[in-house]
């Protein structure tokens, strides 16, 4: 074996001995401490991962809170104050003054106190015209006070068969109020302010298609079954009523139970479209020679 190889092997053996001795000394001297540090490092890494998740959730919840507060600020409904529980009847009376009145009995049936929020159950039992009841419900739904309609029962009164007939109404609704300790959830101003909106009466399902009784001629309109055509000109017709008074009509003008649909100068006739309580027909009147 050459001298160089022998020296190399000796150096390698010396290095291995030194490394082994150093590792053994470190293991003996700091073995437990290193194990504790490794365990602590794993715990801190797990905690870091957990905190990263918490911070991500915090940012999300912060965005949700900001969005919710913005919605609350501009929400069309408002939470009522506890002191308003017994003022609901006054609110309903103000609705009735907006051409939405009907006769009813009002009662507060139950108050449920759940700490921060108080729920009050109300009931109306009455009678009225469908159009008024419809508008009454619209005001409750679209105005600011937070009332929730639980149920609504409508039924026709026996024997009510005209377009002006009334119906039975049973309305149950719930008011939502903030307790005295949560007055900050409410808003300043008139809590019972009504919505400033024009409402449609909608379709009346209780109105019969054919009426037993025709509506009265309250507008003193021309009754064509007792009238006579006196003259026809371009776009204008002159008709004499039953009392001898002269009426001037154009296309689209109303008569009792109908409208003037057509003026035919060539045929010397006029045509009316009639609605006799649900029965539709056309009536032609000619100029007498």
Whether residue 205 is contained in a domain is answered as: no
Assess if residue 206 is contained within a domain: no
Examine the domain organization and report whether 20 and 45 are in the same domain: yes
Domain assignment of residue 87, yes or no: yes
Question: Please, are residues 140 and 187 in contact by the beta-carbon 8 Å criterion?
Answer: no
Distance between CA atoms of residues 55 and 131, nearest Å: 56
Range of 35-39, 128-132, 182-186 with top mean pLDDT: 128-132
Report which secondary-structure segment, H or E, holds 65: helix 3-74
- 38 and 109, same domain (yes or no): no
Residue 104 resides in a domain? yes
| Residue 177 shares a structural domain with residue 114 | yes
Please check whether residues 230 and 264 belong to one and the same domain.
Answer: yes
Are residues 29 and 86 both part of a single domain? no
- How far is the C-alpha of 236 from the C-alpha of 62, rounded, in Å? 72
Same domain, 97 and 44: no
Three-state DSSP state, 118: strand
Choose the weakest-confidence range: 7-16, 141-150, 264-273.
Answer: 7-16
Tell me the CATH number at 144.
3.30.70.60
Assess if residue 195 is contained within a domain: no
Residues 55 and 136 occupy one common structural domain: no
User: Rounded CA gap, 178 and 113, in Å?
Assistant: 10
Which of 51, 74, 97 is at the close of a domain?
A: 74
Same domain for 87 and 50: no
* Residue 11 resides in a domain: yes
| Domain match, 154 and 177 both | yes
pLDDT digit string, tens, across residues 193-226: 777 666 666 677 777 777 777 888 888 898 888 8
Last residue of a domain, one of 46, 74, 102: 74
Is 35 part of any domain?
Answer: yes
pLDDT single digits (tens) 160-187: 444 456 899 999 999 999 887 777 666 6
User: How much is the pTM?
Assistant: 0.52
39 and 130 both lie in a single domain: no
Evaluate whether 256 touches 222 at the Cβ level (below 8 Å): yes
* pLDDT tier for residue 153 given thresholds of 50, 70 and 90: very high
Q: Is 147 within a domain? A: yes
Residue 46 belongs to what domain range? Answer: 1-74
Same-domain check for residues 55 and 91: no
* Helix 88-96 / helix 130-142 crossing angle, nearest 10 deg: 130
- Exposure string over 67-105, b if 16+ CB within 10 A, otherwise e: eeeeeeeeeeebbbbbebbeebeebbeebbeeebbbebe
How many domains does the chain contain in total?
A: 3
**Whether residue 27 is found in the same domain as residue 68:** yes
Q: Give the burial class of 218: count Cβ atoms within 10 A of its Cβ; 0-12 exposed, 13-18 middle, 19 or more buried.
A: exposed
Assess whether pLDDT exceeds 80 at residue 7: no
Q: Which of 161, 185, 209 is the last residue of a domain?
A: 185
Comparing CA positions, the residue from 217, 206, 263 lying closest to residue 239 is 263
């Amino acid at each position: 074996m050459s001298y160089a190889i022998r020296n190399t092997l000796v150096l390698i053996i010396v290095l291995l001995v030194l490394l082994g001795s150093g590792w053994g000394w470190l293991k003996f001297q700091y073995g437990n401490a290193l194990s504790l540090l490794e365990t602590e490092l794993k715990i801190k890494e797990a905690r870091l991962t957990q905190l990263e998740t918490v911070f991500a959730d915090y940012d999300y919840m912060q965005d949700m809170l900001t969005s919710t507060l913005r919605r609350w600020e501009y929400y069309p409904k408002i939470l009522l104050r506890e002191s308003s529980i017994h003022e609901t009847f006054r609110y309903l009376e103000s609705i009735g003054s907006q051409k939405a009145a009907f006769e009813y009995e009002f009662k507060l049936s139950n108050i449920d106190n759940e700490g921060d929020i108080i729920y009050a159950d109300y009931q109306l039992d009455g009678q009225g015209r469908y159009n008024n009841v419809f508008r009454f419900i619209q005001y409750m739904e679209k105005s600011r006070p937070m009332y929730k309609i639980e149920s609504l029962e409508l039924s026709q009164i026996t024997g009510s068969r005209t377009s002006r007939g009334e119906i039975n109404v049973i309305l149950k609704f719930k008011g939502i109020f903030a307790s005295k300790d949560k007055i900050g959830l409410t808003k300043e101003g008139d809590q019972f302010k009504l919505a400033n909106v024009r409402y449609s009466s909608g379709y009346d399902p209780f109105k019969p298609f054919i009426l037993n009784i025709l509506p009265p001629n309250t507008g003193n309109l021309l009754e064509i079954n007792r009238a006579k055509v006196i003259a026809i000109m371009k776009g204008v017709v002159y008709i004499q009523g039953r009392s001898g008074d002269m009426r001037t009509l154009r296309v689209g003008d109303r008569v009792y139970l109908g409208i003037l649909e057509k003026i035919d100068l060539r045929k010397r006739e006029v045509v009316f479209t009639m609605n006799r309580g649900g029965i539709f027909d056309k009536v032609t009147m000619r100029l007498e020679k």
